[in-house]
């Protein structure tokens, strides 16, 4: 009996291809098929969209970003969103390109390490299964809508997508260690007074 493993990117692409009646592929490398390229693009676009909502699994809290030798603060290449921690809330930074920009002082040059809360875009295989499942179903729906809007045979419904999102949110609640003090912005503001 085979062990049940998390969905791979290949399996997600094959699910999408199945939705438009295409045969599965055995590899994503060098297939040269337009449908595979389109499915890959939609899967990655959807993964980025879903991860940009911010989840426990792709968040880094209180992450120190050190100074480079030239005084710049470079961000990880997979940064989706960034904000300074409470300790550095007086520093008005924005993410520009691959580094931080200090809007208050109108410069890219900093004098000290800054701690931030990061939202990172992770590769498909590093996501928890609930996220992979939701992204696969959402991607399949987009793929069918774009490539075969009225001719689709096997198509996931909005109900399937909604159920997958509920499952993802339940998994997030189970792993996020949320409580009424750290999971609510309004409670956090009261506690900071």
The structural domains of the chain, with segments of one domain joined by +, span 9-52+129-188, 56-120
- State pLDDT tens for residues 147-164: 765 554 546 777 888 888
- CA distances to 2, 45, 94 from 123, rounded to whole Å, are 24, 12, 24
- State pLDDT tens for residues 38-76: 999 999 999 999 999 999 999 999 999 999 999 999 999
Report pTM.
Answer: 0.81
């Amino acid at each position: 009996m085979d062990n049940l493993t998390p969905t791979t990117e290949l399996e997600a692409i094959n699910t999408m291809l199945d939705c438009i009646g295409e045969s599965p592929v055995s590899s994503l490398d060098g297939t040269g098929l337009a449908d595979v390229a389109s499915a890959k693009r939609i899967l990655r676009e959807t993964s980025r969209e879903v991860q940009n909502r911010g989840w426990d699994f792709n968040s880094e809290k209180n992450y120190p970003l050190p100074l480079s030798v030239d005084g710049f603060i470079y961000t990880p290449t997979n940064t989706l969103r960034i904000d300074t921690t409470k300790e550095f809330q007086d520093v008005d930074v924005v993410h520009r390109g691959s580094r931080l920009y200090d809007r208050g002082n109108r410069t890219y040059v900093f004098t000290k390490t800054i701690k931030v809360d990061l939202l990172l875009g992770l590769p498909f295989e590093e996501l928890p299964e609930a996220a992979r499942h939701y992204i696969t179903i959402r991607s399949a729906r987009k793929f069918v809508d774009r490539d075969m809007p009225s001719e689709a045979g096997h198509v996931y419904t909005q109900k399937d997508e909604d159920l997958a999102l509920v499952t993802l949110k339940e998994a997030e609640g189970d792993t996020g260690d949320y409580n009424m003090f750290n999971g609510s912005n309004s409670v956090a503001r009261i506690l900071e007074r």
